[in-house]
Each structure stands twice: as C-alpha cells, then as structure tokens.
Amino acid sequence: MNDQTPWEDPAESRIASERVLVLDFGSQYAQLIARRVREQHVFCEIVRHDLPVEQIQKHAPRGLILSGGPSSVYDRAAPTCDERLFHMGVPVLGICYGMQLACQALGGNVDRSEAREYGPRRCQVLAACELFAGIPEALDVWMSHGDQVARVSDDFVPLARTATCPIAAVKHVRLPIYGLQFHPEVTHTPLGGMILRNFLMSACGCRGTWRLGDFAAETVQRVRANVGDARVICGLSGGVDSSVTAALLYLAIGSQLSCILVDNGLLRKDEKAAVIAEFSNHFRADLHVVQAEEKFLAELKGVTDPQEKRRRIGRCFIECFADEATRIKDARFLAQGTLYPDVIESGAAADGPAATIKLHHNVGGLPADLGFELIEPLRDLFKDEVRKLGVELGLPDDIVWRHPFPGPGLAVRCLGEVSRERLEVLREADAIVVHEIKAAGLYRDTAQVFVVLLPVHSVGVMGDARTYENAVVIRCVNTDDFMTADWSRLPYEVLARISSRIINEVQGVNRVCYDISSKPPATIEWE
C-alpha cells in the first residue's frame, strides 16, 4: 500500500470536518457499520481496535464506534482499546462487544449469558435518551452474543432490556458514552438506522454534510494540485473501478491523462471494442491498446494449475503494462482503482482481527515499485459508492452496473489448459448467458454471471449422431460484498432459454449445467 498518497492527510478536507471512526474488534459487521454511517452522509473509516489516542486525535473524529467482535472481554487475549479514549470527550458508541468493553472499563460486569442469544428479539426502551429519540417504547432488534453486561455501576443508566438481556442499552451519566447490546447496523434491526442517526446527529453533533458530489469535486482539486503539469497513466479494464478512476482523472487533468488497455486475449466477447468505443465517447485522452494475446497464450500453454495461471498472467500483465508505460513521455503518476475494501483487506488500514489477506485477488494489480507515484482516488469508497459516483460523473449504465470481472479473465473460467479454441467456445457461451440475463431484466438483480468451461467431454446425441463434446456450467450469484454469495434462483424459463441457445449455437458444447453452490464453502470462480 502506498503511504504517501497525498490525500491521505485529512487536514483541510471537508471530509475531515465530520469524520467518525469505527474501531474494529473483529466484527463481521465492521464494514457494514461504516456503510451505515456513510448512508447518513457522515464520512466513516475503519481503524484498528488498539489505535492509540494520539493517533485517533489526528483524525479529529466527531465520534467513535466500537464494533462487535467474536472474543469475550474477560479473555486474557481479548482485543482491547486505548482506554484513554473514553475520556477524550468524543462521543463513543459501543456495539455488542464494544458495549461490554466500555462497561467493563468504566465499572461494569460482563458475564456469559445463560444461552447464546442469536436472532430477533423484542426490546423495551426503559429511559429517555437522545439515542432513542423518535423510537417507540418497544422495537425489534437483532441480537448475536454469548456474553452480556450483567451489572453496571451507578455511572451507567440502563436504557433498554429484552426478555433475556436485562441491560440491552446503556448511557454513561457524565461522559458521552453509549452502548447497545444489539446490532443497529443490520437490516434485521429495522429502526437501527434511526438509532445510528441519533448517535451521529444528536450525540456527536454531525450535520451529515458528506456528499459524493463534494468528494468528486475535492478529489479533482487535489489531483490537479498534486499532479501539476505531469502526465498520469491509468490502466483501463472496462470495469467500473478503473472507468470511474479514469473519469475522475480526466475531469481533473484532461489531456494529461494516458490510459493503457492490455488485451490479454482473455477478455469477454467484444469487450475490447466496447471499452475502446466507450472510452472514445467519453474522453479525449490518450489511449494505448497493447495487443498481447499471443504473449499471454504462449505463457499459458500447457498450464493447468490455477495458481500458476494466475502467476503467469500477473507477471505478463506487469511486463506489458510497464513496457508501454515507459514509452509514455513525462509520465510521473500511476492511477489505480483501489477501493476501500481492498485497503482494509490488505491490512493497510485496519490491520485488525478481521483483516484477511486475499492475495490471489491482487492479480491484475501492479507492483508499487514501477517507479511512479501512486494516485488512488477511490481508496476511501465502497463499491456501491463508486457506482453512485460513476452515475454522478455521467458514465453510462453499461459501465456503472457492469458485473466485476477477474483480472486473470477467462483463463480461470477455462478449466484445464487454456487455448485459443477453448477460449472461443467459452466466449460464445458466455456472451449468450450475459445477453439472456440482460434480456430477462435480471442483470442488475444479480452480482455476477458467467460460464465455466469444464475440462471434460460428455456424450450426447444430435440428430441421429452420437456426440462427445464439452460440458459448460452457468454460474450466477447474488452477493453484496463478494465474500459470501448465494446462487441466484434464476427462473426455469431463463435457464431453459440459455441452455437451448448454447447447445444450438455454440459449436462443441452438448451439455449445460447450473451451479447451485453457495460461498462458502464454494468460491464464486471455479479456479
């Protein structure tokens, strides 16, 4: 990750005027909390749970949210926070584990509940508090905990209870510290958004000034100031992240932008032409298309191991990109479409207990030592925010709502050895699926849809003749975050049309299957 990104410094940014930090104690919901806060137009970042107060102060937060987490506060190895934060005068909201931690630090007792409580509960509000302003006396909440606060000192007022959890919410009598045993960030707590809003607006005094439009304008200004009259290179893949990055840069520096599209021969049908057409419709910037199909195919010859495919494709991509980049005169900066979840997952921001490293997903990225200064204008945004930004910047729906496509492209969907002929079969079948899903109006309702070509042949009969041809699998999933996913319940008629078209129109395929595995335990891609 790049430490020197100039807009990392929150100093005079309007974003910084209303910033809330989520201290991550390993919650599966930490990102969700951050998104919910941003939905209230308050900028929010996830930081590690033990960030020292001096570092917290540098962010000048209006409020702190202590997330939930899988540990028990009384375990010796349990993640803790710098307890001085409770005395900073900055409002604190502890959620689940976060509440238990706050109560324990300030004079309460946390015990294991008699039964682990998981699921919907009816919650009774006991005392008036700004957190529950406008909330009825009884509300539905979502619980997920094994421990709970059993007793609090006189410094805390219990605010709510459920049948099994006598202290379901608390407020400190002198300090601006609040706790919720339930999860306001999940949709199963229908009034959770209002409770979070009350915390942000009433307790923290936020006004909700963060807007994506402002973000775009600020980013454009900062890019201009930072780049001066130097040239910036941006890799283009046709995906929403790189397109929005290019659009922002184009707004900022116009013709000082050079884009590079590497045609690795592993793209979808007509994709290269579509990217070039969209690019020239929207920008009058310099576009370099590197024709590298032969080079990639040669590299992949005889390779069947998925990780080896990824390694070779990654290496080849870097070589092609770097080679082209060195031909671009005066290039000093390299723009990348890194998103906030990438920053968190790579451990650069959170480095917390929930941070996982998905190394293989970095394939298609570029190493930090290419000799350019990095610009990552989207590194504070979630995917849905990038899409909204794309709409604001006037990018067409086709780009903004395009399903993600992996860096190694069709190679990881062509199981076994990758060859020009096999890629052609896969490409044709894939184009039919995408077309039919769009025609059925299902593209926006699904997160990813594609075809996998299996390395097996199956027996069939066509006319009076026996066939022995390829089998393909349709993979279609629904997911928000791509970390978990469910297979899409596509209507039978759509599946039937897809199957019939593939078998009739794609030479070399005589069998179509539908993948009904969820993630986990399966992954979205087959390799």
Active-site residue set = 96, 183, 185
Closer of 199 and 340 to ligand XMP (Cβ): 340
Please report how close the Cβ of residue 380 comes to ligand XMP at its closest, in angstroms: 20
Interacting residue with ligand XMP among 404, 416, 455, 491 (CB under 6 A): 404
- By CB under 6 A, tell whether 335 contacts ligand XMP: no
Closer of 156 and 450 to ligand XMP (Cβ): 450
Phi/psi region, residue 199 (left: phi>0; alpha: psi -120 to 50; beta: rest), is: alpha
- By CB under 6 A, tell whether 408 contacts ligand XMP: yes
Closer of 482 and 514 to ligand XMP (Cβ): 482
DSSP H or E segment with residue 451: strand 448-462
- By CB under 6 A, tell whether 360 contacts ligand XMP: yes
Please report how close the Cβ of residue 453 comes to ligand XMP at its closest, in angstroms: 16
- By CB under 6 A, tell whether 519 contacts ligand XMP: yes
- Name the one range near ligand XMP by CB under 6 A: 83-91, 156-164, 205-213, 360-368: 360-368
- By CB under 6 A, tell whether 361 contacts ligand XMP: yes
Peptide bond into 521 cis (omega under 30): yes
List 95's β-bridge partners, or say none: 180
Number of residues engaging ligand XMP in binding (CB under 6 A): 15
Interacting residue with ligand XMP among 98, 176, 192, 364 (CB under 6 A): 364
DSSP string for 471-509: EEEEEEEE-SSSSSBEE----HHHHHHHHHHHHHHSTTE
Please report how close the Cβ of residue 319 comes to ligand XMP at its closest, in angstroms: 17
Please report how close the Cβ of residue 307 comes to ligand XMP at its closest, in angstroms: 9
Closer of 98 and 409 to ligand XMP (Cβ): 409
Closer of 63 and 364 to ligand XMP (Cβ): 364
Interacting residue with ligand XMP among 214, 481, 515, 525 (CB under 6 A): 525
Long-range CB contacts (within 8 A, 24+) of 435-443: 436/494, 436/497, 436/498, 436/501, 437/476, 437/490, 437/494, 440/491, 440/494, 442/488, 442/490, 442/494, 443/401, 443/403
Kindly give the pairing relationship between strand 92-95 and strand 108-125: unpaired
Q: Which pair of tokens denotes residue 90?
A: 């900055």
Instruction: Give residues 302-331 in contact with ligand XMP (rule: CB under 6 A).
Output: 310
Instruction: Say if CB 37 and CB 65 are below 8 A apart.
Output: yes
Instruction: Say if CB 373 and CB 366 are below 8 A apart.
Output: no
- Which amino acid is located at 477 in the chain? V
Instruction: Give residues 474-493 in contact with ligand XMP (rule: CB under 6 A).
Output: 482
Report the C-alpha gap between 28 and 218 in whole angstroms. Answer: 31
- By CB under 6 A, tell whether 435 contacts ligand XMP: no
Interacting residue with ligand XMP among 91, 94, 238, 406 (CB under 6 A): 406
Per residue, what are the HEC states of 112-168? EEEEEEEEEEEEEECCCCHHHCCCCCEEEEEEEEEEEEEEECCCEEEEEECCCCCCC
Residues making contact with ligand XMP (CB under 6 A): 310, 360-361, 363-364, 404, 406-408, 448, 482, 519, 523-525
